[in-house]
Amino acid sequence: MTPLRLHNTMSGQAEEFVPIEPGHVRMYTCGPTVHDYSHIGNFRTFLFEELLRRVLLQQGYRVTQVMNLTDVEDRIIKKAGERGQTIDEFTEQYVEAFFEDLDMLRIQRAEHYPRATQHIFEMVSLIERLTENGHTYVADGSTYFRISSFPRYGALAHLDVSGLKAGARVDVDEYGKDDPRDFALWKARKPGEQSWETPLGVGRPGWHIECSAMSMQYLGETLDIHAGGVDLIFPHHEDEIAQSEGATGKPFVRYWLHAQHLQDSTGEKMSKRLKNFSTVRDLLAEGYTPRAIRYALLTGAHYRSPLAFSPELLKAADSAVKRLDEFAVRLGPMTPHPGTPPQGGREIQGIPPTEVLQRWDDALKDDLNLPAAIGHLFEFIKTFNARLESGKATPAERAAAMAMLRHANRILDVIEFPEAVDAEVEKLIAERQAARDRRDFARSDEIRQQLLRMGIQLDDTKDGTRWKRVPLPSPSPRGGGS
Ligand SMILES: [Zn+2]
C-alpha cells in the first residue's frame, strides 16, 4: 500500500508520515485572532488543515486536533478598549461568527478550541520553566526570550539568524530588549489594558506563548503535526519551537505543514492590511453558494501553491459542484452499504471505479494532492457518463460508481446526494400527515403541490402514503408560478 507522505517544512522534503502513537494523530493548527471576521485567505488555510484531517481519518487514524482562538492580542485590546468592553464581551461576536463560517463551509470541527484568556496560568508556568532553564530575562516589567540562548533558532524558516532583523510584529514599545530579535513572553501592563496578576507581574502574555502552552497541554510535549499558513513560519512557529523545546528539552513537532497564500486577482497576497480581502459573508451576499466557496478554496490549487482568487474561480467551482450533483442523480437512488468497496468494476469500459478510487487515494497520499485527485475523478465521470448514455451501465456498475463518488465526497463534502432529496420528501410527507390529522387540508394540499413541483407524486393507500418520482411538470403557461 502506498504510504501517506507529507511535505515537512523542517526538512524541506516529503516524508512518510508515521505518528508517535500507532493509530492516533495529535495535531495542532493555529487558529484565528478573533478581532474581526476571518477572511477567506484564513479559510483557505483552515480548509487545507481540514483536508489533512479528513485524509488522516480516511486512512483510519484517530485524530486529536487542537485549534486555538487568539483572544488576547494588541488589536483586540485596542478595539475592546475603544468600545469600553472587556476582552470577552468584544471577542464573543467574532468567536460565534467564526463557528458559523466553519459550519457554512462544512469544515469539520477540531476536538478542542482552547482560548488564550483561559490558559494564562499554563502560559505563566511555561515561562517559569524557560526562566529556570536560562532562556529569559526581564526588562521594564516584561519577560523576553533570549534567542542567543537557543542555537537552533531559525531552523524551520531556514534562516541565518546572525543577520536577522527585527520581525514585523515587534512591538515598538519594547525598548528594553537586549537584542532586537528577542521576543516578548510576558508584557508588562500598560495603562488602560486588561491584565492578569501573576507571579511574573501584572500584565498579559505575548502572542507566541499561547500556542506552545496550549498545544502541549492538550497534546503532550511532542506533537505529530503542526500546521498553519506560510506567513506563520517566521517568527511565530520559530518562536513556538524555541519556547517549547527551551522548556522541555524534547522535540516539539515531528511534521510541520504550511499552506501557501490566497492571492487576489492581481497576484497580491490577500490580507487585512491591504484591505484586498473578502469574508465568507461577502461572498454569500454576492450570491455564491457555500459549496462553491468550499470547493474553490479546497481544490483550486495544491495547498503548497499560491491560489489566485477570482470570480472565474468561483464560477468554475460552482459548475464543478453542479456536475458532481448531476452525476449523483444520474447514478440513481441505489444506496450501496456504507464502506463497501466498489464491486464489479472489471466489465466497465473506460476507467473502472476501483481503479479511479486507487488513483484518487494515491494522489491524496502524495502530499494531499487534491487537484490531481479531482482530475482523476472528472476523467472518470466523463467516461462513465458516456457508458450511462449508451445504456450499458449495469446496476452493479452504477453502485460501484456511486461508492466511488461517496468515497470522494468524504473528502470534498460538496455533493448533494439524491437521498438528501429523499429525506426532504419524507419530512414533507410527515408534515402533510400532521396537517391532515388536524384537518388542515389547505396546508396538506400545499405540500402535495410542493412535492409535485419537485417531481414527486403521492399516493395515499390504506398502509400509508407512498411516493414515486414522476417527470417534472412543465412550466405553467400563465407564468409566474408560486
Ligand atoms: Zn500559533
Q: For residue range 99-148, what is the model confidence (pLDDT) as tens digits?
A: 999 999 999 999 999 999 999 999 999 999 999 999 999 999 999 999 99
Of residues 90, 192, 203, the one with CA closest to residue 144: 203
Whether the CA torsion 186, 190, 196, 199 is positive or negative: it is positive
Task: Give percent above pLDDT 70 in the chain.
Answer: 90
Least confident span in 80-89, 192-201, 251-260, 345-354: 345-354
| Distance from residue 166's CA to the centre of ligand 1 (Å) | 19
User: Average pLDDT, stretch 172-187?
Assistant: 79
Hey, is 321 helix, strand or coil?
Answer: helix
Residue 76 pLDDT exceeds 90: yes
pLDDT on residue 175: 59
Hey, is 215 helix, strand or coil?
Answer: helix
| Distance from residue 461's CA to the centre of ligand 1 (Å) | 61
| Distance from residue 13's CA to the centre of ligand 1 (Å) | 22
| Distance from residue 466's CA to the centre of ligand 1 (Å) | 55
Confidence bin at 313 (pLDDT 50/70/90): very high
**All cell numbers assigned to 256:** 510541520
pLDDT on residue 277: 85
| Distance from residue 77's CA to the centre of ligand 1 (Å) | 18
| Distance from residue 226's CA to the centre of ligand 1 (Å) | 9
Contact 227, 29 (CB under 8 A): yes
Whether the CA torsion 362, 365, 367, 369 is positive or negative: it is positive
Confidence bin at 172 (pLDDT 50/70/90): very low
C-alpha to C-alpha distance for 36 and 21, rounded to whole angstroms = 37
Residue 16: partners with Cβ closer than 8 Å, 6 or more residues away:
3, 4, 5
pLDDT on residue 236: 96
Residue reference for cell 452504477: 398
Hey, is 112 helix, strand or coil?
Answer: strand
Q: What is the pTM of this model?
A: 0.84
Residue type, 241: I
- φ and ψ at residue 172, rounded to 5 degrees: -65, -20
pLDDT on residue 71: 95
Residue 242: partners with Cβ closer than 8 Å, 6 or more residues away:
135, 145, 147, 150, 152, 153
User: Average pLDDT, stretch 411-436?
Assistant: 87
pLDDT on residue 481: 36
| Distance from residue 227's CA to the centre of ligand 1 (Å) | 9
Residue 58 pLDDT exceeds 50: yes
| Distance from residue 62's CA to the centre of ligand 1 (Å) | 22
How big is the CA angle at 386 (ends 372 and 296), to the nearest 5 degrees? 35
| Distance from residue 237's CA to the centre of ligand 1 (Å) | 7
Confidence bin at 330 (pLDDT 50/70/90): confident
| Distance from residue 308's CA to the centre of ligand 1 (Å) | 25
Residue 390 pLDDT exceeds 70: yes
Contact 406, 414 (CB under 8 A): no
| Distance from residue 29's CA to the centre of ligand 1 (Å) | 7
* Helices then strands, each counted (H, E), the chain: 14, 15
Residue 291 pLDDT exceeds 50: yes
Confidence bin at 466 (pLDDT 50/70/90): confident
| Distance from residue 158's CA to the centre of ligand 1 (Å) | 19
Residue 369 pLDDT exceeds 90: yes
| Distance from residue 474's CA to the centre of ligand 1 (Å) | 56
User: Average pLDDT, stretch 167-184?
Assistant: 67
User: Average pLDDT, stretch 387-414?
Assistant: 90
Residue reference for cell 536560562: 134
Residue 344 pLDDT exceeds 60: no
Residue 256 pLDDT exceeds 90: yes
**All cell numbers assigned to 452:** 409535485
| Distance from residue 188's CA to the centre of ligand 1 (Å) | 21
| Distance from residue 89's CA to the centre of ligand 1 (Å) | 23
| Distance from residue 406's CA to the centre of ligand 1 (Å) | 34
C-alpha to C-alpha distance for 368 and 51, rounded to whole angstroms = 8
Residue 323 pLDDT exceeds 70: yes
Confidence bin at 181 (pLDDT 50/70/90): confident
Residue 306: partners with Cβ closer than 8 Å, 6 or more residues away:
260, 261, 262, 263, 267, 269
Contact 166, 180 (CB under 8 A): yes
Confidence bin at 472 (pLDDT 50/70/90): low
| Distance from residue 238's CA to the centre of ligand 1 (Å) | 10
| Distance from residue 403's CA to the centre of ligand 1 (Å) | 38
Residue 227 pLDDT exceeds 50: yes
